[in-house]
Structure 1
Amino acid sequence: MESVDVLDGETREASAVPAADALVAALFAAEADRLVSLARFFVEDRTAAEDLVQEAFIRLSRTAHRIRDSERAAAYLRSIVINLARDHNRRGLVSLRHRPPAVLDEPSAEETAAARESRSEVVAALRTLPHRQRDCLVLRYYLDLPVEAIATTLGISANSVKTHLQRGMRTLATTLEERQ
């Protein structure tokens, strides 16, 4: 009987791997571009943002077989990206792979259109906010996530998210008024 239990365990583990790989592939197809855009709010360099997202998918792929609720996988992935971006900024790393500074990217048409002065001021003001307020505002107003999804992503209560959103908006409005 013991050999049957081991075999059953191996069979379950083996069947979990293709499902986990499919989950990671589906998340990559659906979320990769949005995650790079999300990471750009936290780091200046597009190459570093892409590296952060790549590292997030690598970390997810290592633990994807343990994910029970695939609906929460995207929130888990966003939290990985945010934590990696914080770590990147805290340590002052140029990139996760310790490469020399990247050559500045040629802006795409989309980036050129989005590079208006008012957007730059808002992003600069966002960067002055405390981490939780900034995280909540970016997830809410840039990724259009509902409060519950933000709470799941950041691992805090929905009421905390609402508080951070309210305080962040108040501080952001004051900061932007002062700059005019």
Structure 2
Amino acid sequence: MRSETVHPPPRSGGVESSADTVVTELFLAHRLAMVRLAFLLVGDQETAEDVAQDAFAEVYRRWNRLADRGQLLPYLRTAVVNGCRMVLRRRTIVGRFRAHREVPFWSAEAAALLGETRREVFLAVRALPRRQREVLVLRFYLDLSEAEIAQAMGVSRGTVKSTASRALKVLAAKLQEER
């Protein structure tokens, strides 16, 4: 499922492609992947769709300020990861004032996305700390390299490597004890 950098369509008549055209093509090609990425990080489909939509809207709004339009997909991934972080921060704050924790809602669409056999792994990954969860989702779901993950998360490659190692150890132990 690895996809590379999105390159804007060729220029016609010396005029650069419009934001409308490029962002529309980007949306059509990568919307589902961005929703799935957000879903794996936030745990519910409605919020994931909102986060992904906001990321595409941000690319469109910032079109004239984007320095390297050949790097739209990495920018979009970073926007999705940051949007998920913001959602999770809000949930943490709200959770401090709630008496009970919300259990993730498993809609028919969400169940189809994950499949019954992967639900256990999904819940174990959801229980990981935010940074560990992000690294594993970017690595194993999007099949990104350490450098691409570091860019999306705004951390060093060494941080990605050590975080992934710790996360896999915790995940293996958790899944082993559940069996």
- What's the TM-score once normalised by structure 2's chain length? 0.75
Q: CA RMSD in A?
A: 2.5
**In the alignment, what sits opposite 2:39?**
40
**1-structure distance, mates of 2:108, 2:134:** 27
How does 1:139-150 map onto structure 2 within 5 Å?
A: 139-150=138-149
Are the structure 2 counterparts of residues 46 and 70 from structure 1 closer, same or farther at C-alpha, using a change threshold of 3 Å? Answer: same
Indicate conservation of the 8 Å contact 1:125/1:175, yes or no.
yes
Matched with 2:76 is: 77
Match of 2:116 in 1: 116
Superposed counterparts of 1:118-157, under 5 Å? 119-157=118-156
2:10 is matched with none
Is the CA contact 1:23–1:64 (under 8 Å) kept in the aligned structure 2? no
| Contact in 2 for aligned 1:137/1:165 (Cα 8 Å) | yes
- Cα contact 1:56–1:84 (8 A) shared by 2: yes
The equivalent residue for 1:97 is: none
CA contact (8 A) 1:24 1:64 kept: no
Percent identity of equivalent pairs = 37
> Is the Cα contact below 8 Å between 2:139 and 2:149 reproduced in 1?
yes
CA contact (8 A) 1:24 1:57 kept: yes
TM-score, normalising length from structure 1? 0.74
Give structure 2 stretches of 5+ with no counterpart. 1-14, 93-104
Larger radius of gyration between Structure 1 and Structure 2: 1
CA–CA separation in structure 2 for the residues paired with 1:132 and 1:71: 27
- Shift of residue 139 of structure 1? 0.4
Cα separation, partners in 2 of 1:131 and 1:69, compared to 1, 3 Å:
same
Task: Give the conservation status (yes or no) of the 8 Å contact 2:146–2:160.
Answer: yes
Distance in 1 of aligned mates of 2:135 and 2:122? 14
Change in Cα spacing, 1:44 to 1:157, as seen in structure 2 (3 Å) is closer
Higher relative contact order (CA 8 A, sep 6+): 2
Contact kept? 1:134, 1:168, Cα under 8 Å: yes
- 8 Å CA contact 1:23, 1:70 repeated in 2: no
The secondary structure found in structure 1 opposite 2:109 is coil
Change (3 A) 1:126 1:104: closer
Name the CA distance, whole Å, in 2 between partners of 1:90 and 1:172.
Answer: 22
Show structure 1 runs of 4+ deviating over 6 A.
none
How far the C-alpha of 1:151 sits from its partner, in A, is 1.1
What amino acid is aligned across from residue 25 of structure 2 in structure 1? Answer: A
**Contiguous gaps of at least 5 residues in structure 1:** 1-14, 94-102
User: Does the C-alpha gap of structure 1 residues 136 and 104 become closer, same or farther in structure 2, counting only changes over 3 Å?
Assistant: closer
Query: Following the alignment from structure 1 to structure 2, what is the Cα–Cα distance between the partners of residues 22 and 147?
Result: 31
- 1:147 & 1:26 partners in 2: Cα distance? 27
1:41 aligns to what SS in structure 2? helix
Question: Greater helix share, 1 or 2?
Answer: 1
